[in-house]
Amino acid sequence: MKQMLPPNAKISKEAKETMQECVSEFISFVTAEASDRCHKEKRKTVNGDDICWALGTLGFDDYAEPMRRYLHKYREVEGDRSASDGQNTRSSNFGTGDGQMLFDDMDRNNPSTSTRY
């Protein structure tokens, strides 16, 4: 959070807690929609496509397409990883530092999110 603000900015504890609650609610909100779709299609597993679909349906249009691209790349990476089983040259931390280069493509296309203080 702090990385998105100027160095002299402060965030109150209450504001941080509220942000966390907003994120939790976001996850619940989108998951419920995705899960509903799975249920109607008689599928048991909520997957990345369901999340992307739910994002689009709920009005998060700006998120849906970048997430689809991100998901596509994630699947490529994971596919490579399991294909080279035993070599394990790729880090398993897709969601952390090692995945950073895969995020950049999305951030480049979305200038509003690429600003970092």
Q: Is the Cβ of residue 26 or residue 86 nearer to another protein in the bound state?
A: 26
Contact between 27 and another protein by CB under 8 A: the answer reads: yes
Query: Running DSSP on this structure, what letter comes out for residue 36?
Result: H
Contact between 56 and another protein by CB under 8 A: the answer reads: no
Residue with tokens 């002299």: 8
Q: Is the Cβ of residue 86 or residue 97 nearer to another protein in the bound state?
A: 97
Contact between 76 and another protein by CB under 8 A: the answer reads: no
Instruction: Indicate the burial class of 89 (C-beta count within 10 angstroms; 0-12, 13-18, 19 or more).
Output: exposed
27-57 burial: b if 16+ Cβ within 10 Å, else e: eeebeebbeebeeeeeeeebeeebbbbbbbe
Give how many residues touch another protein by CB under 8 A.
Answer: 66
Contact between 26 and another protein by CB under 8 A: the answer reads: yes
Contact between 5 and another protein by CB under 8 A: the answer reads: yes
Of residues 81-110, which lie at the interface with another protein (CB under 8 A)? 91-97, 99-100, 103, 106
